[in-house]
Amino acid sequence: MRAVTWQGKRDVRVEDVPDPTIQEPTDVIIEVTSSGLCGSDLHLYETLGAFLHPGDVLGHEPMGRVVATGSAITDLRVGDRVVVPFQIACGRCWMCQHDLQTQCETTQVREHGMGAALFGYTDLYGSVPGGQAELLRVPHADYGPIKVEDGPDDDRFLFLSDVLPTAWQGVRYAGVVPGDVLVVLGLGPIGEMAARVALQQGVRVIGVDRVPARLERSRTLGVDVLELGSDLVEEVLSRTDGRGADAVLDAVGMEAHGSPVAEVAQKVASRLPDALARPLMTSASTDRLEALKTAVALVRRGGTVSLSGVYAGAADPLPMQTIFDKQLTLKMGQANVRRWLEEMLPLVQDPSDPLGLETFATHHRPLEEAPAAYAAFQAKDDDMIKTVFRP
Ligand code: NAD
Ligand code: ZN
Ligand code: ZN
C-alpha cells in the first residue's frame, strides 16, 4: 500500500510499504477514506526527530471502512464506516473506566513513562504505524473505533478522531460558562475548533494568532481577534473590565512563534536522563513556554489555564510565582476522545451541522501530495488551515 513516511527533518515521502495484517484477535483493518494532517504531525516533522526512524508511517486522524476483523471482534463487520480515535485504549483498565483513555494502562508506553499508545507517533508513543495510508491496522478495535452512519460526507465525522474532542476537552477544562470570556491562543485547527465550540456554548471568545488568513476566518465566525505583536495584556484587560480573561486556552504548544526552539540543545537533551538534561534546557530554550506564559499573563486572578497545545522534551521552568500568586488552575493533556463522545455526537449528527464540520477543512488532497501539504502547513504561508488526505 501507499503511505506517508517520515524520512528526516522536514522530509516526508509517500512510499510503498507492506499491507497491515490482523495480528491480535481484537484487531481490525480499515481502508482509509480520509485522514487529517495535524499540528501534532508538525512536531514530528520539525522538532522531535530524535524519536523517529526513517520509514515510520505518520498520521493519527483516520476514518474509513472495515475490510477485515479479528476473531474477537463482535460489534464491527466488514463494510462498517468508522472513525478511529488517535489514541489506542483498551476500555477495560482502571484509567479507561475513569474516562482517562489517553492514560490507558494496557497500552501505556512504560519505557518512556508516557501515556497510552497513539497512532503514527513514533517511539514516543508505542511505535504504531499511522493512518496517512491506504490501510490501517487498528488494535483494541473492540473499544476504539466509532461507528458512524452512511450518507454525510466524511468531513462530518472525521474530526471526531482528534480535532473536535481536543477542542471540546480544552473548552471543558477551561471551565467556562455562558457569558464568560475565553482567550484562545493560536487559531490553527485546534484553536479555531475550540472557538467554534465555545461560541456555540454562549462563551465570548478572543482569539490570538499571527497568520492573517487564520485571523480572518475566526473573525467571520464571531471571534474578537487580536494579532500577535499587539499589546495583548492591554487589549484583553480593556475587554474584561480590567480583570483579565476568565480562562485562556493554549492551542499553540511548545513551538510558539517568537521563541525559536534551541534545536541542538533539545535533541541532545532528549537523549539524556532528566537530571542532566534540565540545566541544558533551562539555559537554551526557556522560551518554549512563550504561549503558556502569555496565557498566565492574560488570565484573571482565580482563572483557569487550559492547555491543548503539546509540550514535550525535558522540563522547562514555569512562571511559578505568578501561577501561585494568581491562584490559577491549569488543566492539560491529550484529549480523551471517547470521554466526550456522548456530549459531541448530538452536534455532529445534527443535519444543520452547527459546528460547520463539513466546511472546516480548507484543503482535500490525494496522499501523493503529502510532501507539499506538510511543507505548506508548516510554513503557514497561505490559507491552508486544515488538510484532509483522501487516499
Ligand atoms: P497549528 O500549528 O496549525 O496551530 C498553531 C497556531 O498557533 C498557528 O496558527 C500559529 O500561527 C499560532 N501561533 C504560533 N505562535 C503563537 C503565539 N506565540 N501566540 C499565539 N498564536 C501563535 O496546529 P494545530 O493543529 O492547531 O495544533 C495546535 C496544538 O495543539 C499543537 O501543539 C498540537 O500538537 C496540539 N494538539 C494537541 C492535542 C491534544 O490531544 N492535546 C491534539 C491535537 C493537537
Ligand atoms: Zn491530530
Ligand atoms: Zn485501558
CATH of the domain at 28: 3.90.180.10
The residue to mutate among 37, 162, 173, 209, having the most atoms of ligand 1 within 8 angstroms of its beta carbon, is 209
Kindly give the number of the ligand 1 atom that is closest to the alpha carbon of 185.
Answer: 20
CA of 116 to the centre of ligand 3 (A): 8
Query: Is 118:136 a contact under the CB 8 Å cutoff?
Result: no
Q: Is the same domain home to 185 and 328?
A: yes
Query: Is 28:66 a contact under the CB 8 Å cutoff?
Result: yes
The CATH number of whichever domain residue 213 belongs to comes to 3.40.50.720
Measuring from each residue's beta carbon to the nearest atom of ligand 1, which residues come in under 6 Å? 38-40, 42-43, 162, 166, 185-191, 208-211, 214, 228, 251-253, 256-258, 290-291, 308-310, 334-335, 380
Taking the C-alpha atoms of residue 32 and residue 67, their distance in angstroms, rounded to an integer, is: 10
Kindly give the number of the ligand 1 atom that is closest to the alpha carbon of 258.
Answer: 18
The residue out of 291, 313, 332 marking a domain boundary is: 332
Report residues near ion ligand 3: CB below 5 Å.
Answer: 89-90, 93, 96, 104, 106
pLDDT for the residue numbered 141: 98
Q: Is the same domain home to 47 and 23?
A: yes
Q: Is the same domain home to 110 and 219?
A: no
Tens digit of each residue's pLDDT (9 = 90 or more) over 198-232? 999 999 999 999 999 999 999 999 999 999 989 99
- The reported pTM is 0.93
Tens digit of each residue's pLDDT (9 = 90 or more) over 40-93? 999 999 888 888 999 999 999 999 999 999 999 999 999 999 999 999 999 999
Q: Is the same domain home to 130 and 200?
A: no
Taking the C-alpha atoms of residue 215 and residue 359, their distance in angstroms, rounded to an integer, is: 17
CA of 128 to the centre of ligand 2 (A): 15
Which amino acid, 85?
P
Cα(first)–Cα(last) distance of the chain, in Å?
10
Per-position DSSP letters for 146-169, written without gaps between them? EE--SSS-HHHHHGGGTHHHHHHH
Q: Is the same domain home to 131 and 175?
A: no
Q: Is the same domain home to 326 and 343?
A: no
Q: Is the same domain home to 180 and 123?
A: no
pLDDT for the residue numbered 269: 54
Provide the residue count of the chain: 391
pLDDT digits (tens), the chain, 391 positions: 999 999 999 999 999 999 999 999 999 999 999 999 999 999 999 888 888 999 999 999 999 999 999 999 999 999 999 999 999 999 999 999 999 999 999 999 877 778 999 999 988 899 999 999 999 999 999 999 999 999 999 999 999 999 999 999 999 999 999 999 999 999 999 999 999 999 999 999 999 999 999 999 999 999 999 999 899 999 999 999 999 999 999 999 987 775 434 444 454 455 555 555 544 444 444 467 889 999 999 999 999 999 999 987 665 678 888 899 999 999 999 999 999 999 999 999 999 999 999 999 999 999 999 999 999 999 997 789 999 999 9
The residue out of 288, 309, 332 marking a domain boundary is: 332
Q: Is the same domain home to 323 and 341?
A: no
| Domain around 357 | 2-162+336-389
Q: Which ligand is nearest to the CA of 93?
A: 3
- If one counts the domains in the chain, the total is 2
**CB-count burial class (<10 Å; 0-12, 13-18, 19+) for 77:** exposed
Q: Is the same domain home to 98 and 232?
A: no
pLDDT for the residue numbered 112: 73
pLDDT for the residue numbered 271: 53
Q: Is the same domain home to 328 and 280?
A: yes
Residue with cell string 526552539: 261
Q: Is the same domain home to 97 and 197?
A: no
Q: Is the same domain home to 50 and 186?
A: no
The residue out of 288, 310, 332 marking a domain boundary is: 332
Cα 170 to Cα 11, 80, 239, 255, 347: the distances in Å are 31, 30, 22, 18, 17
Q: Is 99 helix (H, G, I), strand (E, B) or coil?
A: coil
Residue with cell string 499587539: 230
Locate 15 and state its grid cell: 512510499
